[in-house]
Amino acid sequence: MRDQLENLRSGAKQAIAATSTVEQLQEIRISLLGRKGELTALMKGLGAMDAADRPVIGQLVNAVRDDIESLLSSAIESAQEQAIAARLQDERIDVSLPGRRSQKGTKHPITLVIEEVCAIFSGLGFSVAEGPEIEHDWYNFEALNFPPEHPARDMQDTFFVGNNLLLRTHTSPVQIRTMLKQKPPVRIIAPGTVYRCDSDATHSPMFHQIEGLMVDTKVTFGDLKGVLTVFTNQLFGQKTGVRLRPSYFPFTEPSAEVDIACVICGGKGCRVCKNSGWLEILGAGMVDPEVYRHVQYDAEQISGFAFGMGIERIAMLKYGISDMRLLFENDVRFLRQF
């Protein structure tokens, strides 16, 4: 019995020393000290022993049990400490590592041009007006003096939505909407998206225009030329030449197309201006009395001018972009340059 107890003690010592996880140590405790454990089994043998030996062996049993118990609890304690230390190491966060930077976007060149043009005209007392992109035929054509079946409608390849609705082909319907809402004096610019069934290196089915309208008493063609000269000088530089060529729009009379001296060659002639020295940037004219009739303005009392320009074209000239499609692809390598 004595030997068995000593063997049990030294076996337990070795087993505990060789074990490092809390779970395995718990299993050892059960297999030695549990109700069906080895030590418990030995204790059951005590009853069959000589009454004289019993107290001595009994003490030894207690001593062995206390020994194993204390070995186990200190082993479990250190296994727990090690587990915590390992977990802390695993989940360690280096707070001194640099963070991930979020990428900052840039404004699209179209937005930049719209903002710059609006800023120039707001300095001249114009305020910004807006209108819908899905428009009634009446605002887009009829009220602007394009009668039904009039050949001038072919100037703009229209996307029809159905039932007299279409995607506006220009920002000019905003003129009509504004004049229907307010009496003269009117001084607005209207930036926005417009649509035409047309697509190549210099045309896109969706593009942007800025419309301008000024109506008051005694507004003259000279005022139109003055406003546009101030505008082109501010946008393209102080000495940019400007010229007006006679043109035709149903809603203006007289009408003009406005050119600036080529920003690439300065007027000498190059590939961009097709050797003419001039670049067309907008259409303009004095508002036709027929338009005033549609918005109940008295053409005898007032006069005014309107102009409209394509933003993509201006952005291409201003930033030297050769293909309009670059403006719509949204390649960040392109956009980051602005």
Binding residues (CB under 6 A) for ligand PHE: these are: 170, 172, 211, 249, 252, 283-285, 306-308
> Rounded to the nearest whole angstrom, what is the least distance from the CB of residue 269 to ligand PHE in the complex?
26
Compute the least distance from the CB of residue 267 to ligand PHE, in Å.
24
Closest distance of CB 103 from ligand PHE, Å = 37
Q: What residue number has its CB nearest to ligand PHE?
A: 308
Query: Whole-angstrom Cα distance, residue 211 to residue 196?
Result: 16
CB 136 to ligand PHE: min, Å: 16
Q: Based on the number of CB atoms within 10 Å of its own CB, is 261 exposed (0-12), middle (13-18) or buried (19 or more)?
A: buried
- Show the tokens assigned to 5: 């107890």
Closer CB to ligand PHE, residue 232 or residue 252? 252
Q: Tell me whether residue 65 or residue 294 sits nearer to ligand PHE (CB atom).
A: 294
For residues 141 and 278, which CB has a smaller minimum distance to ligand PHE in the complex? 141
**How far apart are alpha carbons 125 and 132 in whole angstroms?**
24
As measured in angstroms, the least distance from the Cβ of 174 to ligand PHE is: 10
Residue (64 or 317) nearer to ligand PHE, CB:
317
Q: How far is the CB of 280 from ligand PHE (least distance, A)?
A: 11
Residue with Cβ nearer ligand PHE (79 or 121): 121
In the complex with ligand PHE, the residue whose CB is nearer, 37 or 285, is 285
Whose Cβ is closer to ligand PHE: residue 109's or residue 310's? 310
Please report how close the Cβ of residue 118 comes to ligand PHE at its closest, in angstroms. Answer: 16
